[in-house]
Structure 1
Amino acid sequence: MGSMEEFRRLIRVREAGDFAPRIDSIFPLAEVPAAFGHLEDPARLGKILIRIA
């Protein structure tokens, strides 16, 4: 957790288009258990997304 000022700076950077989170993988909603299992993979690098629709 950072300060409120750090959060505001992060928002400004994101709005300027200078920041994009790294996405490791995308799982469909039906595969949520597999997504949670993938969280523990030491080779994982980035966020894991769940596609709902």
Structure 2
Amino acid sequence: MSKGDKSSYTDKQKRQAAHIEKSEKKEGKSEKTAERIAWATVNKQDGSGKKS
């Protein structure tokens, strides 16, 4: 899996990241920062997108 490849994430994780990213943007964060925070949060909660 290459850096930035989101294919191993579940649909639920992708929805969570999108929701977090939207919230971060609303707080005034840049697009890049909001995306980074969103995926870092999903990784912390769910273990780096790995499916069992």
| TM-score, with length taken from structure 1 | 0.34
Which is bigger in relative contact order (C-alpha 8 A, separation at least 6)?
A: 2
Please identify the structure whose Cα radius of gyration is greater: 1
| TM-score, with length taken from structure 2 | 0.34
The structure whose residues are more often strand, as a share, is 1
The structure whose residues are more often helix, as a share, is 2
